[in-house]
Structure 1
């Protein structure tokens, strides 16, 4: 990876010289398979979904122009856009859309967790039947794994073997895991892109990505660390953009672990965290998280919740009340065991190891020994499944589905591998399912937030801001807070 990055820096042509907008981010392209790498294809404008979302999270038209549910809520009809062609020249028909969604539903992903019982082609529409009402279905169809590809994009077993989408850009070269190239699709149903060519390269090291933005060797650089942002903001080579997004930096807790099984113990961990200090000194954000759901997720943010506090003295009192006493080295012990935990995190998001290092100090201040294991992000879910995870420091996205109920259902109803661990709450299951059906509203959302704030199966730390750098010669940048698109088709290259 380092060799690739060095080559990109050393031999890349001057910015904009080849009418190509070069995108750099940390995400590797695993394969042409939508369920694993689809988020890159939608962000790059290659593939599209039936529904979209505007910056406020409101669903908008995509490849479907309208949708409606039957009176009993068990049948949804999605009217398809006319005149859409796939990149191989084939027409986007109802049969092709039904085929893509049927394949997506059979793979791990949000659609597989919905009460869908059938997907059929209709007259210029796709008809989806359900076993029970599910009002959030249109939002689920905005997820990247539900992107619509041509029948020729799939092998006989449904595996994605080629990315043949409907977007404004058509792939001309795909070289997993590191890169792709694409050109404007002349038969695109929407507005023609201003930039004729785009490219994507996966560069794992944040320092290298920042250098490429600073030196002008890349036009659009995603996933910068706070230090790089501060430096780039003072330079002329690029413009730094930042926006609040529906993502929370949080610590998932193994509530079945003996030291963490009591709510008071989890509350102590929370009280030991100086969120304001982490936000301002480490992340360069204006504030820390006061609850799980950030203001950017609208109705899910409960303004009436007492905010999460920083009080190490109270944290010590709670642990003392649970029978923990300080040993000779200051680390708490109980029944002959030390209060020692392993915090697992990953470097894909460069801020996570930095925050982990601060947490180590803050937990030691209340007598908890923390060992940091920085590894692949897949280890979070793997250790969750094995029950061997103590703590996991992660960035949880509430915008993968433009309705946070999708993430809530996945993480807590019942618990999923990116959410709570060793913790179950039957009330949340019923509340989340009611919201998903459409017969739950503000009261149910507020109660879900309240339960999570009280029992702390996960511990929020900060609300994210998405920050990226764009070359000075690029105009028309708009950051999508839902992280569905880079917006490349709307950008222009200054002449």
Structure 2
């Protein structure tokens, strides 16, 4: 029987009952933390969006539809040219008016980002220009029918010209959203207050604090004790305990996110497809689902959850078969006993350590000698991106850059992909990607995504473990909070607490 790995703190059992928010203020225990002086290319931009401060030209609804935000409408003028009509009557929190000039300056600042913004970088965008008082024209390098979704990404938020400093970005008083950032402690928190002149109507909540809590167990404990009225991404194994009382609501989201075991396709022995297939056959994904995720995150075949319009047409969940795995290794001429391989995992997601240990034990059964290294993500990412690794665990959102998986497929699997940790490169795959990116008919485009996912499955480029279900917790006094499937918004006009 598989050993059951659990790492949930017993503090849940000892914590006091929740207390409600005071004076219209709410505390959010967030999994993110400021890392790069508000750089738009990473988590810092998501903190600005969670705070209800950052807004883009568009926004993504709960059902993943692209809707107007700071742009009222948009049109594809020709295959490489988009025009966006900017909303009238919007002011930044510093009193400056929103117009096409301010929008174009903000987006051009994004294009200058030291780390490219996935989905909106110089690789995709040729130019951004104010072509009228309230009209912005964006030209793309190649046809990009998903651009309206890309400019909903928090990394493309429109800030006042005063936000852009020589040494970074200052979001205090420079956003357009329903809440204004008023205090920042980069190590601990961001405080916000309601922006009284918000173009979309006054928010119900007076304000609040986002606390940076990287440990998932601690976030769950804060929900239980009442230190936080909303705690994001609590451990799956804590759900039963948190649900046991009547003062907390556990909110379940079938996230567009997959837990992957990345294999270095450019380094022996994983440059051999049969070896990659053998690794896949050696892993019991159903066992991982049950042992680590309480069966709430189903085993994965391809990256996309079953029932989505872009799932691979034939990518069944692999059943463990050690005999066949050993046979494939023999066909590849690989003696696993002669190899020492390492699995990388990172501390930001509590369960990854346990998943790594389970995979270590499973691969040992087919003869590999496996070491596990667990560290802060920032310390292992350079090795992962440069290809200096064997295997790595990654929790990956496949609609983070744009509310379709084209951004994920491009960044992670194209020859020049900005997040191609797998070190995969096939010009034929890139040709298929380009065709999908230019396909205007959604049904045909989704079918093209499915073919790309099928390719990744057939070639065992990545081993997909589980399609993730995530859990947020809210106190009973919180209203108007629905976890966003892309993790874009928290402090919004409807959010309130008593």
> Is the pair's TM-score, using the shorter chain for normalization, greater than 0.5?
yes
Q: CA deviation at 1:466?
A: 1.9
Structure 1 residue 119 corresponds to structure 2 residue 128: yes
More divergent stretch after superposition (21-30 vs 284-293): 284-293
Structure 1 residue 170 corresponds to structure 2 residue 171: no
Gaps of 5+ in 1: 1-5, 326-331
Structure 1 residue 467 corresponds to structure 2 residue 471: yes
Equivalent of 1:455 in 451, 459, 470: 459
Partners in 2 of 1:352 and 1:466 — Cα distance?
14
Q: CA deviation at 1:47?
A: 0.7
Q: Is the 8 A contact 1:346 1:353 kept in 2?
A: yes
Partners in 2 of 1:57 and 1:25 — Cα distance?
22
Partners in 2 of 1:117 and 1:424 — Cα distance?
24
Partners in 2 of 1:387 and 1:305 — Cα distance?
27
Q: CA deviation at 1:274?
A: 1.1
SS of aligned partner of 1:34: coil
Partners in 2 of 1:313 and 1:454 — Cα distance?
20
2:4 counterpart residue number: none
Cα RMSD for the two superposed structures: 2.2
Q: CA deviation at 1:346?
A: 0.5
SS of aligned partner of 2:169: coil
1:3 counterpart residue number: none
Q: Is the 8 A contact 1:420 1:458 kept in 2?
A: no
Q: CA deviation at 1:415?
A: 5.0
Q: CA deviation at 1:308?
A: 2.9
Q: Is the 8 A contact 1:215 1:237 kept in 2?
A: no
**CA deviations over 1:132-177 (Å, ceiling 9, x no partner):** 32212112111111000000001157x3133411111001111113
2:45 counterpart residue number: 38
Aligned residues: 472
Equivalent of 1:316 in 318, 326, 333: 326
2:304 counterpart residue number: 293
Structure 1 residue 17 corresponds to structure 2 residue 22: yes
The equivalences for 1:82-121 within 5 A come to 82-107=88-113, 108-110=116-118, 111-121=120-130
Q: Is the 8 A contact 1:345 1:372 kept in 2?
A: yes
SS of aligned partner of 1:112: coil
Residues 150, 445 of structure 1: alpha-carbon distance in 2 compared, 3 angstrom cutoff: same
Residues 380, 429 of structure 1: alpha-carbon distance in 2 compared, 3 angstrom cutoff: farther
1:276 counterpart residue number: 286
Q: CA deviation at 1:118?
A: 1.7
Residues 180, 442 of structure 1: alpha-carbon distance in 2 compared, 3 angstrom cutoff: closer
Q: CA deviation at 1:399?
A: 2.0
Structure 1 residue 388 corresponds to structure 2 residue 400: no
2:429 counterpart residue number: 428
> What TM-score results when the alignment is normalised by the length of structure 2?
0.90
SS of aligned partner of 2:149: helix
Partners in 2 of 1:240 and 1:251 — Cα distance?
28
> What TM-score results when the alignment is normalised by the length of structure 1?
0.90
Q: Is the 8 A contact 1:77 1:127 kept in 2?
A: yes
1:328 counterpart residue number: none
Residues 415, 341 of structure 1: alpha-carbon distance in 2 compared, 3 angstrom cutoff: farther
Residues 188, 91 of structure 1: alpha-carbon distance in 2 compared, 3 angstrom cutoff: same
Partners in 1 of 2:123 and 2:69 — Cα distance?
20
Q: CA deviation at 1:303?
A: 4.0
